[in-house]
A and B are shown apart, each in its own frame.
Chain A
Amino acid sequence: MMTGYHSLGYSLLQALLLLLVAPLIAGIIKKLKALLQNRIGSSILQEYFDLYKWWRKPTFVTPYTSCIFLAAPCVYFASTVAAACMLPNFIGRTVSLGDVFVFVYVMALGRFLMTLSSLDAATAFGGMGGSREIYVAAFVEPVIMLAILSNVLHTGSTFLGGMSLDPGEVNLTVAGVLTCIAFFLVLLAENSRIPVDNPDTHLELTMIHECMTLEYSGRLLALIHWASQLKLLIFLLLFSLLYLPLNIPVVFKVLGSAVLVAVVETLNNKMRLFKVRVYLAAAGIMLLLAIAAQ
């Protein structure tokens, strides 16, 4: 067992590593989607270029906003980085900082502030995006809790480190597989992917997550995008560490699930906004069955 300081050091190191890799994963998914659609697509490094571009650009803030508008991207970024620290150490594996409930609500804090900031500039799109984000979140959060509960029942621990599958373990029980599928559905919803939201659209009226960021520019926008990419990577990692019943190294698991995201996004179109609850209810029911099976 490592000491607390060591553990903290490893966790921070891990968060930094994830932060650096996150745009690459997002870039890989984009590139794959382009290839699957018969397009050449942009470079897998494009997300880095974009972040660099936004970082150099001036940040415009309308005079009608409050401090929340400035604080939200920072809190969103910070909370996502904090969540990245809490992931099971895949360097040291056994230890992680956070309890899983803390993890979920640290993530929720970022979302809460982003939703507030979407109302702050009082534009019609922002309000629309905020309301839709909350509508989706209201269904996503209980489902994530169920997914965790299912895992807790399986592993008997509420610490993320203790919850992850052992390296050699292949959990091919009914409960394990159902949980795995359900968590993937939630992953898509939580990270604004098709079929719930479309990360690549320019149509403001259909957006959910992107709608909230329309008023942002420059470094604040870069922070939001970077945090979103990190969030996607965190969920892919969780999916790989906690749920994916495959006996291969974590890196390949993450890459594999990134490919899966790209394929699912290509094969599907966005569903009707009011059908999202049916989609998430399906994930919820799967999890209830999984829990009952244990």
Chain B
Amino acid sequence: MLQVQPENLRGAANIFSAAGKNPLAAMFGADETLRGGGLAIYCLFYNAEKRDMDILKAEFSADGDLSYPSLTPILPAAAWYERELHDMFGFIPREHPDLRPLVLHETFPEDFHPLLKKYPVDYQVRGSRKYEMLTSAGEGLYEVPVGPIHAGIIEPGHFRFSQAGEAMLQLDAKLFYTHRGIEKAVEGKTPFEALPLVERICGACSVANTLSFCQAVEKLSEADVPRKAWLIRTLAAEMERLYNHVGDTGNVCAGVGFSPVISMGSRLKEYLMQLNEMLAGNRFLRGLIVPGGVNCDVDENCLEEIDEVLRELEKEYRDIVHIMWEQNNFVNRIRTTGIIRQNTAFELAMVGVGARASGSVRDSRKDIGFGIYDELDFAVVTETAGDVEARIKVRVGEVYESIKLIKQLISKLRKEPEGSLCVDLGMLRTLEGSWGISESARGDNLHWLMLDEEGRIDRLFVRSASYPNWPALTLAVQGDIIPDFPLINKSFELCYACLDR
């Protein structure tokens, strides 16, 4: 970890990013005043060569000036992080091109920064501040506001389209409507007490969030997680990717009203969710992974069932994919729609399917190789076109890779001797930052954890995969027409709850 003066943060970040070779993984603040420190900004950069994160820290005195030169002009990926820092801690990134509020909407008072320690977790506020949407004006231009309440059963988000006829000129998204303050709520809890909250940050990536969190906790301990536990964890992680990708393959067709595939996709997803329930006792695989290992074993019956269902599922899934590619009208809709160019994906430090469809090869399972992924044989599926079709293709490819992985895991689990599933982590090291990463269906989920002197959580930062990809969505739509927006949106399949942590 390198500690720099706030004034030097931009320069140091420039060096750490190695001219963009090491993308910004996360940027967040911490209030360390209770331990006699000040406020701090941490920047994490992926370092693929070291298979590690480079950590950069800038410390500010608590009652002094909180301004520093913004990173956004050199690293566009920092834009949202810095807006959030501004909201949550009151940092002032100078020369930030767009320092509108992000998390705190117009019902919050102007100078309220909830993640500062001086505000207790049950602090109540009411106020008003300005929240402006990006708009446009001119002859023939108009705006279409959509949401935050939508016709389907989805989470809240307000989209403001600036239109010239059917063509979308600009899109601004107002998200974070149901921000739950989980990062604040877990402060003062032990990691085990915080676990149920962390598992519920998001439904579709419960395993990924729990796995990242558990790894962050385990890095603070001397104990090693048993190999068998890692096999079961990896099995759960791949089952989660599988049910998400299978469901999303069908769901993307809802954007074009291609209904047979939608219902086929949800039928297959349901089989997988029932397998999940058998595996962990929970359809979202909650309660399985704990710091130190896993909660329950997988017996031979369960492995047999998974094996059988997957064999059938793979066949049916191939049928669905066949139907999709045979439908010229469908391919016509998805090709060249919602393009993200490679350098855009790169500059926004996109992750997951969104990035890999635009020519990136980033996959934390390969790059960081957490757990036992290094022992397993799988390929990172990439496409270069960056359109809706490419994202569907990456998803389809990853389904086959996940099935391949699960088969390997099953045979490894069968060979694995009986052994302990969970290790006692003992005393955790305190006042030391640690991070955990895992690959969810949407990309990597990154957690940062620091414990105070008593072993209770001082700061937990959660950056789910959707966070860096949301700004990309607003760029992907430019130049397309507004009836194609639902399709483009569904091809990213971004999560609102992952932001509302």
**Of B144, B146, B329, B486, which one neighbours A271 at CB under 8 angstroms?**
B329
Within 9-49 of B, Cβ neighbours of A (below 8 Å) are at none
B151 within 8 A of A: yes
B258 with A269: CB separation less than 8 A: yes
* Size of interface on A: residues with Cβ below 8 Å to B: 30
Complex Cα spacing A202 to B153, Å: 10
Within 162-203 of B, Cβ neighbours of A (below 8 Å) are at 165-166
Query: Which residues of A lie under 8 Å from residue B144 when comparing CB positions?
Result: 124-125, 128, 205
Complex Cα spacing A127 to B140, Å: 13
Query: Which residues of B lie under 8 Å from residue A266 when comparing CB positions?
Result: 259-260
A271 with B152: CB separation less than 8 A: no
Report if A269-B151 is in contact (Cβ < 8 Å); known contacts: A37-B263, A38-B267, A201-B257.
no
Report if A205-B257 is in contact (Cβ < 8 Å); known contacts: A38-B264, A125-B144, A273-B166.
no
Q: Mark A24-56, 1 if CB is under 8 A from B, else 0.
A: 000000000100111100000000000000000
A206 with B483: CB separation less than 8 A: yes
A124 with B267: CB separation less than 8 A: no
Q: Which of A5-13, A192-200, A243-251 contacts B (4 or more CB under 8 A)?
A: A192-200
Complex Cα spacing A194 to B146, Å: 24
Complex Cα spacing A204 to B146, Å: 9
CB of B20, distance to nearest CB on chain A (Å): 35
B152 with A203: CB separation less than 8 A: yes
Report if A36-B260 is in contact (Cβ < 8 Å); known contacts: A203-B151, A205-B485, A272-B333.
yes
Query: Which residues of B lie under 8 Å from residue A198 when comparing CB positions?
Result: 257
A205 with B486: CB separation less than 8 A: yes
Most central of A127, A194, A270 by chain B CB within 10 Å:
A270
User: Which residue of chain B has the shortest Cβ distance to A202 in the bound complex?
Assistant: B151
B485 with A269: CB separation less than 8 A: no
A274 within 8 A of B: yes
Within 157-198 of A, Cβ neighbours of B (below 8 Å) are at 194-195, 198
B327 with A269: CB separation less than 8 A: yes
Complex Cα spacing A202 to B146, Å: 13
Query: Which residues of B lie under 8 Å from residue A204 when comparing CB positions?
Result: 146, 151
B124 within 8 A of A: no
B482 within 8 A of A: yes
Query: Which residues of A lie under 8 Å from residue B260 when comparing CB positions?
Result: 36-38, 266-267
B482 with A194: CB separation less than 8 A: no
B483 with A273: CB separation less than 8 A: yes
Report if A194-B166 is in contact (Cβ < 8 Å); known contacts: A203-B152, A205-B483, A206-B486.
no
Give 8 A-B pairs besides A124-B145, A203-B255, A267-B260 with Cβ atoms closer than 8 angstroms: A201-B254, A202-B152, A203-B151, A203-B152, A205-B483, A268-B327, A269-B258, A269-B330
> What are 26 A-B contacts with C-beta separation under 8 Å?
A37-B260, A37-B262, A38-B263, A38-B264, A38-B267, A124-B143, A128-B144, A131-B165, A200-B259, A201-B257, A202-B151, A204-B146, A205-B483, A206-B255, A206-B257, A206-B486, A266-B259, A266-B260, A267-B260, A268-B327, A269-B258, A270-B256, A271-B332, A272-B484, A273-B166, A274-B481
A residues near B (Cβ < 8 Å) are 33, 36-39, 124-125, 127-128, 131, 194-195, 198, 200-206, 266-275
A-B CB proximity, top 8 nearest: A269-B258, A198-B257, A202-B151, A124-B144, A270-B257, A269-B256, A203-B486, A206-B483
